[in-house]
């Protein structure tokens, strides 16, 4: 649907609920969905139009057009048209296949069946045929065909459950409910196991809805009844197209949005096509090459005119008038433009597309990035920015679910001024989290929450244990009054306070209770935190059983309990709190939970527990726990009724959401503090190591989280984002003047760190960040400081602020990457150059919005440092090589014009020109750009006796890999200087090819037929030499060979060319007719090709030798070391060879890149030998004692002596040996038969049993 159509429907709608099936005039869009782009008629023009949005295709179309004019073109038009058609054809075939798939999908969706209620009868129809206002009957597990307002449900309460995984990726069921006024409008009966619905009475109803928006939860509407009354509707009544009805037998609803107006279609905007930095630079270089081409054409045209002016009088066959010089110059310019168009390779773009698709395939199938916990491989969802992965300078990471597991464990709860929960103060934060991080977790146990909470006192209070009576009866005297002071709830004892606290946990949430296959209650909710708290309440005896639209059910200590659910204000990232109003035993209670800073600001001033709770929250933050405050309030009946009237009045307001928020703000104040919760979120595997390597790779890591500053700081320390030697600068003030002072102090600290070369980090709170970025001067100073730090932690930030922080850095021309797992990370993921979504516990929104998807944070290491680095190098070298091979091909054409009277005569045959880029030289380059790798960190184990050394060599190399990442960050390969260098090589090599070929085939050359070398002989010889030079150069620059490289080089390049070489011998009317048959019989032909290759590659080898000698890179050092180590390890005796080599280096005063590793291996061997010598001495003593103990007589009547001898023997068995930590081989030390028999007899007679009967020794 076009934008103008959408504008037409972007207004509030009022429509009759159509119970008769009468088709009204079309005011709203139909429900027919069309996601396909083309049909049979429009495919060709529209697809072509899309292809010519690329400047390169426009350029080659221009070439094809002017080549079609015989007066201009020296070439056959087919030689320009064929490559263009081939390239466009490949792209259009891909487009057609994708669009055919979209057509099939559209047809399947539009033909899906649904049930419409017409005149109290259920009628089958298709999705495409339903309209706004139609009544639909939807059964369990059926998908909603449009956005529907639920009017009635199978459950009397009106509640129903939907799954929205196809919309937002969240598999947790969401409760929706019909309002009670519409729930009674319908009645049903079952006939032959089929449900028949009918509408009670003849109601004339109208529905109202706000303009369609993409926000999934945004809906404001109302139902207008025949008597003039109306009832307010909101997102709780909206069922979205594409969602499924679950755990509910049926619902009846009225369609409010169809087709393009539905939420799912409003969110189906075309994804942004991201262009990599390299591609942007390449486009600029192409424009530069075009400029050079124009200059070369102009020069050739001027020389052509000059030659004609000077020579036409000498050559009577040239007939020209002076008035035609301008026209002839223009014709010559365009003729040369055609001849030199090979400067810009036509197959470069399509070749890059193929390479990037293959790169994505290898990312998707990389077992090193497979998450067994999630059962997910990495997934590349875009192929256009693979090389950008190798250029990242800033990583922006969410905390919860990204650095941590989002697997919550209920650790502590504070009720009043008493802390409950098992405390282990012997471990600090880093130890605690790191140990859990290193522990291998069972994928089956990867759940939202873990409950290991233990506190016998709290359990005793809940269970009325006599042993805990004194704790239960502890006096409280907490008087909770309504605002108008007409209603009071008196909490006299700790037991009553615990009850209110646990009622809050079990009722103030958005979770759904379900039963698993074992009939056990499991909860689904919007976040793991929410589930953890409800699960904790259940495990403490307050089990939430479920809820309807206006009722909640519980099982408390085995007894059933019901309360009225009157209202609910959901959690969102701006409110940072959620609350419910319930009616419990006639008392109106507001329960609320939320972030400590939010709840604290809404408390009454006289809070007896606040001081204690604040101190404990500070302690919790230092060990990285996530905390929430719990509070409540009592409402009088008058206050509640006034609230309901205000809520009803929102129906007629144009700003319902804002006024609803204001209503909640007014209600959620003057609160009474009950307590707090502390939940632990564990670090994911290898997070500290991954971040340490990213920092080593000079990638700045910024953590953006909604947690408080202390918690964020401690998590940052535990994952090594802030290390022990970092200087930390904090921004936490919310007053502008105080923040200026803080900034000035931090500037001095920052400058001192630069002078002393200390590492530094910034911690900034969200409110301070708002002030800093609002003032331009402060923004510049803060940004400069933050950009210079090794890491930055932004805490208490909203999703919008996350995106703003990314935008701040992105605008400074830095390559940014954002990684997160939740819906609140989508903004920053889409803002960054590269967005990475993690498969997590918070749905698939982040994954769906990302460019790449990963199972765990640690896989970022390989995605960036391996795949990213390789992709950058491969694509960069591919582009440079494309321009090189086209330059070497174009130069002979340019030079030939000087020997052909500047007549725009082509040097190569038309078909040779056509096939050069398409077939003869592209495939080996594509294979190299797909498979080549400069160096890899894994070394395969070949000698099993040295497995440990191989493993250590792999770890050593892996630790060095971050140093290689600067190649892409600094863009050291695809630079202007490198481009000029490669283009210059192409120019020089082209000069060699032309003049050496020209010189060798002088007039004295005679072929087997007695003929002199002609123009075709020079042309084909030069062309053949170029093919071999280009292919051999690819072979020399290939670092990693596979069978694919060999096949593409020998078969699909050289092989195809040789085949064409022979076939072209029989092409009539071409330069090559009968020439190849003579050339293959001429020794001169082979000598010229060999000579040219030798000259070219001697030239290359000299340049490379100079570069390696004076400009050696880290990659060169690693390649050299790998080769050296593999040579050492090839035949065994690794340690002896290393020792001899290091001794030789010490004698010569040399020290190489890998000496640190060799010295480490030798030091470990010396330590092992020293420990072995010590052990040999101990073993001799132990052997002697063992023999003595085994043969000495035992007095069985003396139990003391027997026990003493036994302990002496077991002492020998239990002595630890130092070599056990060095992976030494463990063998059983065997006694002599007599010693063993004596030893066993002693134990048998002593009647002492012990599991160890043999001594274990380490050799």
Catalytically active residues are 398
Under 8 Å between Cβ of 256 and 132:
yes
Q: Binding site annotation covers 954?
A: no
Whole-number Å distance between alpha carbons of 524 and 527: 8
Under 8 Å between Cβ of 632 and 500:
yes
Helix, strand, coil shares, percent, the chain, to 5: 50, 20, 30
Q: What is the DSSP letter of 236?
A: G
Whole-number Å distance between alpha carbons of 1088 and 1082: 10
Which residues lie closer than 8 Å to 748 by C-beta, 6 or more apart?
none
Tokens 């043999």 correspond to 1254
Whole-number Å distance between alpha carbons of 1086 and 1025: 9
Q: In what order do the strands lie in the sheet with 816-820?
A: 379-380, 852-854, 834-838, 816-820, 394-398, 700-704, 791-795, 760-765, 727-731
Whole-number Å distance between alpha carbons of 112 and 126: 5
Token readout for 290 is 């075009």
Whole-number Å distance between alpha carbons of 176 and 160: 5
Q: What residues does 152 pair with on adjacent strands?
A: 252
Whole-number Å distance between alpha carbons of 747 and 753: 10
Under 8 Å between Cβ of 128 and 146:
no
Tell whether the torsion through CA atoms of 1109, 1114, 1119 and 1120 is positive or negative.
positive
Q: Binding site annotation covers 470?
A: no
Q: Binding site annotation covers 473?
A: no
**Measured in whole angstroms, how far is the alpha carbon of residue 620 from the centre of its chain?**
31
Q: Binding site annotation covers 593?
A: yes
**Measured in whole angstroms, how far is the alpha carbon of residue 858 from the centre of its chain?**
11
Q: Binding site annotation covers 707?
A: yes
The secondary structure element, H or E, covering residue 746 is helix 736-756
Q: What residues does 309 pair with on adjacent strands?
A: none
CA nearest to 790, candidates 685, 714, 692: 692
Whole-number Å distance between alpha carbons of 567 and 600: 22
Under 8 Å between Cβ of 589 and 640:
no
Under 8 Å between Cβ of 147 and 263:
yes
Whole-number Å distance between alpha carbons of 221 and 210: 6
Which residues lie closer than 8 Å to 73 by C-beta, 6 or more apart?
66, 67, 335, 338
Q: Binding site annotation covers 825?
A: yes
Apex 489 CA angle, 484 and 495, nearest 5: 155
Q: Binding site annotation covers 342?
A: no
Token readout for 42 is 């429009």
Q: Binding site annotation covers 571?
A: yes
Burial of 59 by CB count in 10 Å (0-12 exposed, 13-18 middle, 19+ buried)? middle
Under 8 Å between Cβ of 796 and 597:
yes
The secondary structure element, H or E, covering residue 667 is helix 656-667
Q: Binding site annotation covers 720?
A: no
- Helix H, strand E, coil C: the string for 12-79 is CEEEECECCCCCCCCCCCCCCCCCCCCCCCCHHHHHHHHHCCCHHHHHHHHHHHHCCCCCCCCCCCHH
Q: Quick check: helix, strand or coil at residue 224?
A: strand
Q: Binding site annotation covers 851?
A: no
Q: Binding site annotation covers 802?
A: yes
Q: What is the DSSP letter of 674?
A: E
Q: Binding site annotation covers 116?
A: no
Q: Quick check: helix, strand or coil at residue 800?
A: helix
Q: What residues does 244 pair with on adjacent strands?
A: 143, 163
Q: Binding site annotation covers 6?
A: no
How many other CB atoms sit within 10 Å of the CB of residue 1250? 10
Torsion, Cα of 481, 483, 485, 489 (10° steps): -20
Known binding site: residues?
Answer: 398-400, 530, 571, 593, 626, 705-707, 796, 802, 821, 824-825
Known binding site for ATP: residues?
Answer: 398-400, 530, 571, 593, 626, 705-707, 796, 802, 824-825
Known binding site for Mg(2+): residues?
Answer: 398, 400, 821, 825
């Amino acid at each position: 649907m076009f934008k103008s159509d959408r504008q037409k429907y972007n207004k509030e709608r009022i429509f009759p609920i159509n119970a008769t099936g009468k088709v009204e005039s079309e005011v709203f869009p139909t429900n027919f969905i069309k996601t396909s782009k083309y049909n049979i008629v429009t495919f060709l023009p529209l697809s072509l139009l899309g292809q010519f949005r690329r400047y390169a295709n426009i350029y080659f179309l221009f070439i094809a057009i002017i080549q079609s004019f015989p007066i201009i073109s020296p070439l056959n038009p087919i030689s320009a048209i064929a490559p263009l058609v081939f390239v466009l054809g490949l792209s259009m075939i891909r487009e057609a296949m994708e669009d055919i798939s979209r057509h099939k999908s559209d047809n399947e969706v539009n033909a899906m069946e649904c049930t419409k209620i017409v005149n109290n009868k259920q009628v089958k129809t298709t999705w495409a045929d339903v309209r706004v206002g139609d009544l639909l009957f939807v059964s369990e597990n059926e998908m909603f065909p449009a956005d529907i307002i639920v009017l009635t449900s199978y459950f009397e309460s009106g509640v129903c459950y939907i799954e929205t995984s196809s919309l937002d990726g969240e598999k947790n069921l969401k409760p929706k409910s019909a309002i009670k006024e519409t729930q009674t409008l319908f009645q049903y009966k079952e006939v032959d196991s089929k449900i028949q619905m009918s509408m009670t009475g003849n109601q004339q109803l109208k529905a109202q809805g706000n303009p369609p928006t993409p926000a999934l939860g945004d809906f404001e509407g109302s139902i207008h009844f025949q008597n003039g009354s109306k009832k307010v509707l909101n997102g709780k009544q909206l069922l979205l197209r594409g969602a499924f009805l679950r755990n509910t037998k049926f619902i009846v609803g009225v369609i409010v949005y169809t087709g393009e107006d539905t939420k799912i279609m409003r969110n189906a905007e075309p994804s942004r096509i991201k262009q990599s930095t390299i591609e942007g630079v390449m486009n600029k270089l192409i424009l530069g090459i075009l400029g050079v081409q124009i200059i070369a054409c102009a020069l050739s045209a001027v020389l052509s005119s000059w030659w004609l002016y000077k020579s036409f009088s000498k050559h009577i066959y040239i007939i020209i008038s002076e008035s035609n010089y301008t026209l002839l110059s223009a014709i010559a310019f365009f003729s040369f433009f055609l001849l030199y168009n090979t400067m810009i390779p036509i197959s470069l773009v399509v070749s890059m597309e193929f390479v990037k698709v293959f790169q994505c395939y290898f990312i998707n199938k990389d077992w090193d990035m497979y998450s067994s916990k999630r059962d997910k491989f990495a997934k590349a969802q875009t192929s256009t920015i693979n090389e950008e992965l190798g250029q990242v300078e800033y990583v922006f990471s969410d905390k919860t679910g990204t650095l941590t597991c989002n697997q919550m464990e209920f650790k502590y709860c504070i009720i009043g001024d008493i802390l409950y929960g098992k405390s282990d103060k012997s471990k600090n934060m880093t130890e605690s989290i790191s140990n859990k991080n290193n522990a291998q977790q069972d994928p089956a146990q990867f759940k939202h929450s873990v409950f290991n909470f233990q506190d016998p006192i709290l359990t005793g209070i809940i269970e009325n244990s006599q042993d805990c009576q004194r704790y239960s009866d502890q006096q409280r005297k907490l008087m909770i009054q309504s605002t108008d002071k007409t209603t009071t709830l008196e909490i006299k004892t700790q037991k009553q306070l615990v009850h209110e606290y646990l009622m809050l946990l079990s009722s103030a949430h958005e979770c759904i209770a379900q039963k698993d296959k074992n009939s056990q209650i499991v909860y689904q909710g919007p976040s793991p935190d929410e589930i953890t708290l409800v699960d904790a309440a259940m495990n403490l005896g307050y089990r939430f059983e479920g809820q309807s639209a206006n009722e909640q059910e519980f099982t408390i200590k085995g007894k059933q309990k019901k309360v009225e659910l009157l209202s609910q204000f959901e959690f969102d990232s701006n409110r940072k709190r959620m609350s419910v109003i319930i009616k419990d035993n006639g008392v109106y209670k507001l329960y609320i939970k939320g972030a400590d800073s939010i709840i604290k600001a809404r408390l009454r001033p006289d809070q007896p527990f606040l001081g204690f709770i604040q101190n404990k929250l500070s302690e919790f933050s230092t060990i990285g726990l996530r905390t929430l405050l719990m509070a409540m309030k009592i409402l009088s009946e008058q206050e509640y009724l006034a609230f309901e009237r205000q809520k009803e009045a929102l129906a007629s307001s144009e700003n319902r959401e804002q006024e609803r928020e204001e209503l909640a703000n007014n209600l959620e104040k003057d609160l009474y503090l009950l307590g707090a919760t502390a939940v632990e979120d564990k670090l994911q595997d290898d997070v500290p190591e991954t971040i340490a390597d990213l920092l080593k790779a000079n990638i700045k890591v910024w953590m953006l989280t909604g947690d408080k500053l202390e918690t964020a700081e401690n998590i940052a320390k535990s994952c090594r984002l802030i290390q022990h030697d970092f200087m930390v600068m904090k921004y936490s003030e919310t007053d502008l003047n105080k923040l200026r002072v803080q900034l000035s102090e931090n500037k001095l600290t920052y400058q001192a760190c630069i002078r002393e070369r200390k590492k530094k980090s910034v911690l900034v709170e969200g409110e301070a960040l708002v002030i800093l970025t609002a003032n331009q001067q402060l923004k510049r100073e803060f940004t400069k400081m933050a950009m210079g730090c090794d890491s930055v932690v932004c805490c208490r930030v909203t999703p919008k602020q996350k995106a703003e922080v990314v935008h701040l850095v992105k605008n400074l021309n830095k390559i940014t990457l954002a990684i997160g797992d939740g819906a609140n990370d989508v903004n920053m993921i889409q803002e960054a150059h590269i967005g990475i979504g993690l498969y997590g516990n918070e749905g698939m929104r982040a994954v769906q919005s990302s460019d790449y998807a990963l199972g765990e944070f640690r896989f970022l290491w390989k995605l960036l440092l391996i795949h990213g680095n390789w992709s950058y190098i491969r694509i960069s070298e591919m582009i440079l090589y494309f321009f090189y091979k086209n330059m070497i091909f174009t130069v002979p054409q340019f030079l030939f014009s000087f020997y052909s009277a500047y007549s725009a005569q082509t040097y190569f045959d038309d078909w040779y020109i056509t096939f050069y880029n398409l077939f003869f030289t592209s495939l080996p380059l594509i294979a190299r750009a797909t498979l080549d790798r400069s160096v890899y960190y894994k070394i395969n184990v070949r000698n099993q006796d040295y497995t440990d050394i191989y493993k250590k060599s792999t770890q050593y190399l892996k630790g060095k890999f971050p140093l290689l990442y600067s190649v892409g960050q600094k863009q050291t390969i695809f630079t202007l200087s490198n481009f000029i260098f490669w283009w210059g090589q192409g120019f020089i090599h082209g000069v060699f090819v032309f003049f050496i070929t020209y010189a060798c085939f002088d007039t004295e050359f005679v072929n087997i037929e007695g003929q002199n070398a002609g123009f075709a002989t020079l042309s084909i010889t030069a062309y053949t030499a170029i093919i071999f030079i280009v292919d051999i150069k690819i072979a020399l620059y290939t670092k990693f060979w596979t069978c694919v490289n060999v096949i593409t080089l020998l078969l699909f390049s050289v092989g195809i060319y040789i085949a064409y070489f022979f076939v072209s011998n029989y092409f009539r009317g071409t330069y090559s007719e009968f020439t190849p048959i003579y050339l293959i019989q001429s020794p001169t032909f082979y000598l010229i090709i060999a000579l040219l290759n030798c000259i070219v590659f001697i030239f290359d080898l000299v340049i490379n030798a100079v570069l390696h000698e004076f400009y050696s890179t880290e990659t060169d050092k690693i390649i050299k070391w790998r080769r050296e180590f593999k040579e050492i390890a090839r035949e065994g005796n690794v340690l002896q060879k290393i020792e001899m080599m290091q001794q030789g280096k010490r004698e010569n005063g040399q020290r190489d890149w890998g000496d640190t590793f060799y010295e480490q291996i030798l030091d470990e061997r010396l330590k092992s030998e020293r420990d072995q010598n010590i052990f040999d001495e101990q073993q001799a003593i132990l052997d002697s004692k063992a023999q003595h103990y085994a043969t000495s007589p035992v007095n069985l009547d003396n139990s003391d002596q027997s026990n003493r001898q036994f302990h002496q023997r077991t002492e020998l068995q239990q002595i630890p040996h130092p070599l056990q930590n060095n992976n030494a081989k463990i063998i059983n030390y065997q006694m002599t038969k007599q010693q063993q028999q004596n030893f066993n007899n002693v134990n048998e007679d002593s009647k002492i049993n012990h599991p160890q009967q043999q001594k274990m020794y380490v050799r």
